[in-house]
A and B are shown apart, each in its own frame.
Chain A
C-alpha cells in the first residue's frame, strides 16, 4: 500500500509538471475572399483574388481564386468586368490605365464567399527633380519634391533589383528555372534638412518580407518641398541582375497603414509580450488591400 501511495504521488507530480499541452480550440474557419491590388497609371487595372486558409493544421499556401466575377467602377461610373489573366488569381481590365485623381471601386463575387468591395484613389503625380551619380559600389540619387504644400502628401521610396529567369540546379535534384523576380537592395536615405535623420531601410534577404523594402513617409512631420533627399543604394555586385531600380512616388494612405501594421502581425498569438494585431485592410466583406501609387522609376 505504501509503495502504491509513493508511486501514485510520483506520477501525480510528473503529471502535474506537464505544463504544456496541445489544445483543440474551436475556431471555425470562415472562408473569406482576399482582394489585393495596387493601381498606378503605368499599369493596367489589375487585382489578385485568393482565399483564406486555416491558421491551424498543415501550413499550405492560401489558394488563389480564379472563378470570380470582378467589376470595376471609375468615380462611380461602371467600367466593366475584369477578366482572368491566365495567371493564378489575377484579374485585369486589359488596356485600361487608371488616371490620377480618380477613384476606383472594385467588387468581386465568387460562389461560396461573401462579396468583397474596396476602393482607392490614384494620387496626383509628384513633381520630382532627380540626379543620379555612381561611384564604385554606391549609386546616389538626389531628388527634390515639389508638391502642394497645402495638402498632406504621402511618399514612398523603394530600391530593388530585377533578377532575370535563371536555371537552378543541385546535384541529385532536377534542375529548375526560377522565374523573373525582384530583390530588395540595401539603401540608406538621408533627408539633409533634418540632421542625423537617416532612414535605414535595410531589407531581409529573399524569402523575407518583400514589403520591407519600402520606405514611406508623409510631410506632416516634415515639409519636403524645396529640400533635397539623398538616397544611397549599395550595389551588390556579386548577384546577378539587370541593375537596380529606384522608385519614388506618391502613394495612397492605405499603403502606409498596411506597412505600419505588418510587424506586429507576425506575433504568433502568445498572451505575453506584444499583443498580436491584424494588418490594415480596406476590403469590405473580406480581407486584403486595394491601394494605389503614382511615381517615377529610375534605372540606376
Chain B
C-alpha cells in the first residue's frame, strides 16, 4: 500500500514540476543581517499579490518558484528586523540575498499586517520558535541567563524541581529530549547538578523546540527536539560581547577572518566562586578553622565556530563546544608529637592523612557542516558530528604513620568510577523545492554510539600486605551500537486552505546480536477556516537510548544506555489537534493544542537499586520496564514584537506510568505529573535606556511518595523466635521488623510552587574613540522576589521529644526549600 502511495506521489511531483516549469522561475538565496552577515533562520519571504511564500531554512537559505512576471513584490520579514519590501522582475531564475536591517522594537507593530503569519500558515504543531532576544530578557537566578530555564516557561514543558534546568516535555522523561547544538547531540545539558544549563546565550543565534507533530526529518527521541543553532560569527566587523555576573563572567568575540568570506566566533564562560573562595579558605586553614586543604567547584563553557563561504554555492561551518564541571577536594591533616626517650634523643611520632577527591563531568561536541546548492531548487547539507559525555569520580585516601619524618606504615585506598557515551555521526539532508506547492526534505543519517555504562575500580595498598587492585567493571566494557535512519517528507499545499505535511522516518538499530527496525509514519494537516488555522497531527516515534536515573533531577551520575535484547527500545505515538490564530492588529499569536501520547518500554531503577550499589551487576538486572501515558491541553499566547513582548502559557496535563513490578502493577502518576502550569513572561521597553522584565510561574505540586503508616513485618522465618535488645531505661525491646507503608507510589502532592522573577535593564551608549560605539547594560534582578518557599523535597524526620515522662522518637514531615529571594546584579557590554 505504502509502495503504491509513494509511486503515485512521485508521478504527481514529476507532472507538477513539468507543468510549472513552462512559465515559472525560481528566486533563491539567503536572508541575512545587514550588519553582521548572520543568517536569519526562519525569516519569511512572501509575495502578497500571489499569496505565496516560503521560510528560510536553518541555514538561512530560501527558494520559491513563481509565475513569470515583470515585477513581483516581495515582503521579507524577521522578528527584530525592519520589514523589507522589494520588487523584483521575474523573467528568469534569480539569485537574491536579502539583507535585513535591525529595527527598534517600537516601530514593528505598524507593519505587522504585511508579515507572513507563520503560526497560521505552517502545518507544524507543537513547535515553538522563541526569539533569542526574548530568552535573553527572561529574568534568571543570579542573573545567569539560562536557555533551558526560559524553555521551561513554555507550555508543555515542565522544569522538574525548583531551580533545576531539567526538561520534561508532554509527560516524557528527561532522556526523551533530543538536544542538538549545531546538529550534535548534547547528553547532559546542565551544570552544577542541574541548576544551570550549559548553553551560553551570547553564542546562540536560534532556538526551536518541537514537542509534537514531529516532521519526518527528526527521530531518535519520543518527546521533543530542541534544535539550537550557534551564531555564525560577524562577517563584516570584529565585535565583542561580555558580561560580569555574581558567579560567572562571559566573553564572546567574533569577526571576519576574511571579510564577507570567513568569520570566527569564540565564546567562553566560567564561574569563579572557587577562585574567590580560595584565599578565604587558605586564611581559615592558617587559623586552623578551615577544611584543612583545598575545596572548590567550578564550571566552564567554551564555544567556537568557523564559518567559511567558499562560493555562492558552498559554505562550510565548523563548530565546537566544550564544557566541564569540576568539584574537588584535597585535604591534608598532619599531627606530630615528640616522645621523651631515656636516651635523651626525642622521637617524633606523627601521622598524615590525605583525602583527595575529584568529581568531573562534561560534554564535548564538534560538528562540521557543508552546505551545497546543487541548483536553485536543491539545497544539501552534509554533516559529521562528534559528541562525548563523560562522568568521572576519583577518590583516594592515604594514611601514613610517621616516625622521625619517615613512613613506617601506609594505608592507601583509591576508588574510581567512569561512565559516559560517545556518538559519531554522519548525515546528509536535502531541501528540494520543485514547485511552490511542495517543499520536500529527505536525507540519510548514521550514528555510531559507544556506551560506557560505568567502569569501576578499587585499589588498596597497606604496609605489609598484598596490593589489591580490583577492576569491578573494566573500562573496556563498552557497548557499541549503530543507528541508521532515512527519511522523506513533503510540505504539500493542496489548496489555499489545505496543507499537509506527510513523511516517513525509517530507522534501524544494531546492538550486539539484536537489530531493531522501525518505520515511523508522520502526518500533519492544516486547514484554514477564516482567521483560524485548524491543525492535527499524528506521529510515531522510536528511541533506542535509555537514561537510567535515580532522582530525575539531572545528576551527572545518570547513565545513558542502549536498547538491548532484554531492554527494548522506547516507543510512542502522539496524536494532537489544535487551533491557531494571529491577531494582527494586536501583534498576538494564539494557539490551543491538545495531545495524547502513550509510551512503551520505559525504564526505572528497581526498588533500592542505584548506580553505585553493586557496580559489577549488569545494569539490565537493576531496571524495571514499563509503560507511560501522557495527555493534556496547552494554551499559548505570544507577542514577539513591539515595546511589550512575551507570552502567557498554560498547561493542563496528566502523565502516568505503569510498571508490572512497581506499585503492585497499579498505574501511578509520574513524578512531574503536574496538573496545572502557568507562566507569564513579559518584557517592556520603557525607553531606549530602560526596560523591565518579569516572569511569574505557578505549578501544581509534584507527585511524591511519602510514608503513610508503620506496621509489623514478617520476622519468623525460620522458627518462631524474637530477638531483643536493651532499649531506653534498661527496658528490653523486641527487635521486630517494623516496616513503612508508603501507600501508592507518588501518591501525595507537594504544595504548589510559584514565584516572581524581576529584572530591570539600564542601557548606556558611549562613543569610544578606538572601539567605536560601546553599549553597556546594568541588570538588577530578583529571583523569587516575594520569597515563596517552594518545595524542593520532603522528608520524614525523627526527633527525640519528651513525652509522657520519657524521651521518645517523634516523626514529622519536613519540607526543604533551597532558593529564597536572590537579588542579583550583572553588567554586560558590547564593543
Chain A contact residues, CB within 8 Å of chain B: 12-13, 15-25, 27, 29-30, 32, 34, 36-38, 40, 43, 46, 48, 50-62, 156, 158, 160, 162, 168, 170, 173-174, 176, 178-183, 206-211, 214, 245, 247, 249, 251, 255, 258, 260-266, 268-279, 287-289, 291, 293, 295, 297
Chain B contact residues, CB within 8 Å of chain A: 161, 550-551, 553, 604-605, 607-610, 662-664, 702, 704-726, 729-743, 745, 748, 751, 787, 789, 792-798, 801, 803, 808-818, 820-821
Whole-angstrom CA separation of A208 from B604 in the bound complex: 29
Q: Which residues of B contact A168 (CB under 8 A)?
A: 726, 730, 732
Whole-angstrom CA separation of A99 from B800 in the bound complex: 48
Whole-angstrom CA separation of A283 from B740 in the bound complex: 15
Q: Which residues of A contact B795 (CB under 8 A)?
A: 268-271
- 10 pairs of A and B residues whose beta carbons are closest in the complex: A264-B608, A16-B820, A271-B793, A207-B725, A173-B730, A55-B707, A277-B607, A52-B709, A182-B721, A264-B607
Shortest B737–chain A CB gap in Å is 6
B723 touches A206 (CB 8 A): yes
With A20-B817, A181-B722, A211-B737 given, name 18 new contacts (CB 8 A).
A19-B818, A21-B814, A40-B718, A51-B711, A61-B734, A168-B732, A174-B730, A211-B714, A211-B715, A245-B719, A264-B608, A268-B795, A269-B795, A269-B813, A274-B605, A276-B740, A277-B607, A278-B664
Shortest A250–chain B CB gap in Å is 12
Q: Which residues of B contact A62 (CB under 8 A)?
A: 710-712, 738
Shortest A59–chain B CB gap in Å is 4
Q: Which residues of A contact B732 (CB under 8 A)?
A: 168, 176, 178-179
A275 touches B709 (CB 8 A): no
The residue from A12, A30, A176 contacting B821, defined by CB atoms under 8 A apart = A12
Shortest B480–chain A CB gap in Å is 26
Given contact pairs A182-B723, A295-B718, A269 touches B711 in the complex (Cβ within 8 A): no
Whole-angstrom CA separation of A263 from B607 in the bound complex: 8
A274 touches B610 (CB 8 A): yes
B662 touches A277 (CB 8 A): yes
Q: Return 27 A-B CB contacts under 8 Å, by A number.
A: A16-B787, A19-B818, A19-B820, A22-B812, A25-B748, A29-B708, A36-B716, A50-B711, A53-B711, A55-B706, A55-B741, A56-B812, A58-B808, A173-B730, A176-B732, A178-B724, A206-B724, A208-B735, A210-B723, A210-B735, A266-B740, A268-B797, A269-B705, A271-B702, A271-B795, A276-B742, A295-B718
Shortest B654–chain A CB gap in Å is 20
B713 touches A211 (CB 8 A): yes
B714 touches A59 (CB 8 A): no
Closest A residue to B727 by beta carbon equals: A207
A265 touches B814 (CB 8 A): no
Q: Which residues of A contact B816 (CB under 8 A)?
A: 19-20
Whole-angstrom CA separation of A279 from B743 in the bound complex: 11
Shortest B827–chain A CB gap in Å is 23
Shortest B405–chain A CB gap in Å is 40
Whole-angstrom CA separation of A18 from B789 in the bound complex: 9
Q: Which residues of A contact B787 (CB under 8 A)?
A: 12, 15-16
A176 touches B730 (CB 8 A): yes
Shortest B408–chain A CB gap in Å is 31
Q: Which residues of B contact A287 (CB under 8 A)?
A: 711, 741
A17 touches B820 (CB 8 A): yes
Given contact pairs A20-B816, A277-B705, A38 touches B721 in the complex (Cβ within 8 A): no
Q: Which residues of B contact A206 (CB under 8 A)?
A: 723-725, 735
Given contact pairs A274-B608, A287-B741, A36 touches B723 in the complex (Cβ within 8 A): no
B709 touches A32 (CB 8 A): yes
Q: Which residues of A contact B813 (CB under 8 A)?
A: 22-25, 56, 269
Q: Which residues of B contact A269 (CB under 8 A)?
A: 704-707, 742, 794-796, 813
The residue from A55, A183, A273 contacting B710, defined by CB atoms under 8 A apart = A55
Q: Which residues of A contact B708 (CB under 8 A)?
A: 27, 29-30, 55
Q: Which residues of A contact B739 (CB under 8 A)?
A: 262, 265, 279
User: Counting chain A CB atoms within 10 Å of each CB, which of B664, B739, B793 scores highest?
Assistant: B739
B718 touches A272 (CB 8 A): no
Given contact pairs A12-B787, A173-B729, A269-B706, A289 touches B714 in the complex (Cβ within 8 A): yes
Whole-angstrom CA separation of A29 from B706 in the bound complex: 13
B710 touches A53 (CB 8 A): yes
Whole-angstrom CA separation of A262 from B717 in the bound complex: 14
Whole-angstrom CA separation of A18 from B818 in the bound complex: 9
Shortest B612–chain A CB gap in Å is 11
The residue from B719, B723, B741, B798 contacting A278, defined by CB atoms under 8 A apart = B741
B707 touches A58 (CB 8 A): no
Whole-angstrom CA separation of A30 from B743 in the bound complex: 10
A258 touches B738 (CB 8 A): no
The residue from B607, B721, B748 contacting A162, defined by CB atoms under 8 A apart = B721
B736 touches A61 (CB 8 A): yes
Shortest B598–chain A CB gap in Å is 23
The residue from B604, B711, B792 contacting A52, defined by CB atoms under 8 A apart = B711
The residue from A43, A52, A261 contacting B741, defined by CB atoms under 8 A apart = A52
Closest A residue to B746 by beta carbon equals: A275
Q: Which residues of B contact A160 (CB under 8 A)?
A: 719, 721
The residue from A21, A46, A272 contacting B553, defined by CB atoms under 8 A apart = A272
Whole-angstrom CA separation of A293 from B717 in the bound complex: 8
The residue from B161, B702, B733, B811 contacting A55, defined by CB atoms under 8 A apart = B811
Whole-angstrom CA separation of A256 from B159 in the bound complex: 38
Whole-angstrom CA separation of A207 from B610 in the bound complex: 26
Q: Which residues of A contact B550 (CB under 8 A)?
A: 273-275
Q: Which residues of B contact A297 (CB under 8 A)?
A: 718-719
Closest A residue to B664 by beta carbon equals: A278
Whole-angstrom CA separation of A51 from B610 in the bound complex: 32
Closest A residue to B804 by beta carbon equals: A58
Closest A residue to B819 by beta carbon equals: A19
Whole-angstrom CA separation of A133 from B789 in the bound complex: 65
Q: Which residues of A contact B797 (CB under 8 A)?
A: 268
Q: Which residues of A contact B821 (CB under 8 A)?
A: 12-13, 16
Q: Which residues of A contact B818 (CB under 8 A)?
A: 19
Q: Which residues of A contact B789 (CB under 8 A)?
A: 18-19, 21
Whole-angstrom CA separation of A298 from B818 in the bound complex: 56
Closest B residue to A162 by beta carbon equals: B721
The residue from B711, B796, B809, B817 contacting A19, defined by CB atoms under 8 A apart = B817
